[in-house]
Structure 1
């Protein structure tokens, strides 16, 4: 596998996951904003902070409004984290390595991108934002489902999955940091906001099925960090990332210092999460836990780049 192929596969996985995460969060925020604490503008400020860059938004718009936030987070081609840009980046990376993956994946993602690129804010607001974001989620889920169904489980698949699970871990940590900041600003946790966080990751039903009676900052954070069976928890994401890196090493039938270091780092992070207890995720300790996890995610991304993406040589997988 050439470096350029490894890099494109990794970022294909990351951007596809990022786009789905953003669509989920925007959709849930949109429909819970009337119940959330604070003004409508304050709710949009929170979601811009969770997904995008508040300073960039404030440079373009005088206030946080529905139309402005929807355009900024969804359809603005000048914003790196806008939904349309994430999908475009995923498409561009897939285009570079089309020969490594089934052609059906390209046909699906390319068609989805062309549809999304033609959307505009007036149509989104007129026709139903919920329907629009529902279609976005369905399109990205179809891409992932097709990949699961027909992609060969070789090094290319494992590299793409590495990107997906690392992005998922990073997204949940950022989401919890945003939730923590919002709770601090409001002087306590908002029930509607916590509900939005759980629904944005599709975890509300799972949360209730586990018999967790309270809906507060500590319980939601514990669920999204430690719940091993839930596929969008940080623990699950890091464990899956570790297993995919091991699979890359196994498919190459040899090891290397870079790969072994990534596996050790991921294993250490997963193990440390496994040893955490409910009392370790309290209001006065969670910030440190999240900062450590954010640093781990960043280090894993840097280690992947150093091991696989150095220009001018082939990677060992």
Structure 2
């Protein structure tokens, strides 16, 4: 496969996943507008904007970040992440970039995949945000999530399991790994009570990651920092756990790797295995009988487990680009 086409499939996967990640975070926040007080809503916006690496809204120079989110209204904050074409992190921008990458590889893309992606983008582009907001703040992002999940299903049903599919899946799960690490890091840093007694709910983090019901089945109703973070880092059956994402990355790289998973492995494959091993060896989560034992992770510094993971996940993207996209012409595409 040409490096340019590999890059298009890779970035198609990344931008589609990024769009859904933004929509999921907005869905979490917008469902809280009815029954949460102003301080809790402002704290939620801080999480959303930090998790998406977005600057806080404009505010007077003597106002700190927390107060800036108190001043801004939910309509403006949501609009900036949904319909603002000047914001590269907005849903319309990310969906548009996914569509643009798909357009570049249109001859290699099954027709149902292109139709589903294109219709979803045009639907969002033609939606009047003010009218959609009037129907209910959360309705628009919920419909967007449904369309993006439909796209994932259409891809799964129509694409052959060749290198095109592997690069699309690779982009999707590299993006998921990076976004989930950032989300867990941000939540861990903000979760503990501040001077006003405000704190984030670990149950809400599980819900954002679609893991609340699996956690209740596997653990108990007791929610502690170490148990929740460990579950979202290492559970292999939760689709938004770090373990699940690294497993899918390693699997797709095994298929892309010319050696087929046999030594010597390509550099991205080696790093993916190292990240997976680091997740297994991390001592942060209390083991069995965690609900009855003291939480050993409670004394760990907020965000501490995620600094090396953040670094390695970014390095993984760089290695994928260097190995399969931006490799020296004299070296040729690995084959």
Moved more, 91-100 or 278-287: 278-287
Moved more, 119-128 or 107-116: 119-128
Aligned to 1:303: 319
Aligned to 2:11: 11
Between the aligned partners of 1:246 and 1:286, the Cα distance in structure 2 is 34
Q: Is the 8 A contact 2:192 2:199 kept in 1?
A: no
Whether 1:96 aligns to 2:104 is yes
Name the count of aligned residue pairs: 313
Structure 1: unaligned runs, 5 residues or longer: none
Q: Which has the larger radius of gyration?
A: 2
Q: CA RMSD in A?
A: 2.6
Between the aligned partners of 1:87 and 1:185, the Cα distance in structure 2 is 36
Aligned to 1:249: 257
Between the aligned partners of 2:318 and 2:207, the Cα distance in structure 1 is 30
Aligned to 2:292: none
Between the aligned partners of 1:36 and 1:241, the Cα distance in structure 2 is 40
**1:216 Cα deviation from its structure 2 partner:** 2.9
Structure 2: unaligned runs, 5 residues or longer: 61-67, 287-295
Aligned to 2:245: 237
2:267 to 255, 261, 280: 261
1:190 to 183, 195, 199: 199
4+ residue segments displaced more than 3 Å = 33-37, 39-42, 59-63, 187-191, 252-257, 279-283, 311-314
Between the aligned partners of 1:7 and 1:306, the Cα distance in structure 2 is 11
Note the 1:1-317 alignment, pairs <5 A.
1-33=1-33, 34-35=35-36, 38-55=39-56, 57-58=57-58, 63-184=71-192, 186=194, 190=199, 193-249=201-257, 260-277=266-283, 278-279=285-286, 281-285=297-301, 287-310=303-326, 313=329, 315-316=333-334
By relative contact order (CA 8 Å, sep 6+), the higher-ranking structure is: 1
When you count helix as a share of all residues, which structure comes out higher? 1
**1:136 Cα deviation from its structure 2 partner:** 0.5
CA deviations on 1:59-113 (whole Å, 9 max, x unpaired) are 7999321111111111111111111111111111111111222111111101110
**1:142 Cα deviation from its structure 2 partner:** 0.7
Between the aligned partners of 2:213 and 2:72, the Cα distance in structure 1 is 31
**1:286 Cα deviation from its structure 2 partner:** 5.4
Moved more, 76-85 or 27-36: 27-36
Q: Is the 8 A contact 2:113 2:154 kept in 1?
A: yes
Identify if the C-alpha distance between structure 1 residues 47 and 105 changes in structure 2 by more than 3 Å, giving closer, same or farther. same
CA deviations on 1:237-294 (whole Å, 9 max, x unpaired) are 01110110011125x869897x611111110110121123414744415523201110
Describe the SS at the equivalent of 1:215: coil
Between the aligned partners of 1:166 and 1:212, the Cα distance in structure 2 is 30
Aligned to 2:293: none
**1:129 Cα deviation from its structure 2 partner:** 2.5
